[in-house]
Amino acid sequence: MADRLSGKRLHTAETFWGLVDISGGPASCWPWQGSVATTGYGQLSFHRRNTNAHRVAYTLWHGQEPWKGMHLDHLCRMPLCVNPAHLRMVTPRENTMAAGSLAPAKRNVEKTHCPSGHAYTLVNTLISRTYGTPKRHCRECGRIRVRTRRARVEAMGA
């Protein structure tokens, strides 16, 4: 940490914290006052790399970058917040499944029935992989499709 914040780089840390509104105190959100990406997260160039402001805040506060492959979860659900007390290092899956997450993957996991109303159970669910992405299919809906198709073919042949 000392190497990272010595000399010129200390000025970068001071500049960073100068763009943070900490007027609400240590327990409140600290909104980023600098540039904002289209994703809603604060962004800046730090150590000659474009990065998210909350990642820089975590690095400056804890003295280490988040581990490779890990995400920082905003416990407050405010993307502009850079308060290190509101950030926790989690796996990508934990971040997707966190309370309040709007990720489509989370919504799909929470579905208990297919669009036709059949329960997704171990017996009634078929998992296929399309381009490496797992997808659930209702076996009962598949059986109904096959029966309908067979009846249509038989009616045409009769």
pLDDT in tens, 39-54: 899 998 877 788 899 9
pLDDT in tens, 59-113: 999 988 888 999 999 999 899 999 999 999 999 989 888 887 778 888 888 899 9
Delineate the domains of the chain, giving CATH numbers in brackets: 1-103 (3.90.75), 111-158 (no CATH)
**pLDDT in the model for residue 158:** 62
Whether the pTM exceeds 0.85: the reply is no
Residue 7: is its pLDDT beyond 70? no
Own/partner long-range contacts of 89-95 (Cβ < 8 Å, ≥24 apart): 89/58, 95/71
User: Angle 97-102-103 (CA atoms, 0-180°, nearest 5)?
Assistant: 60
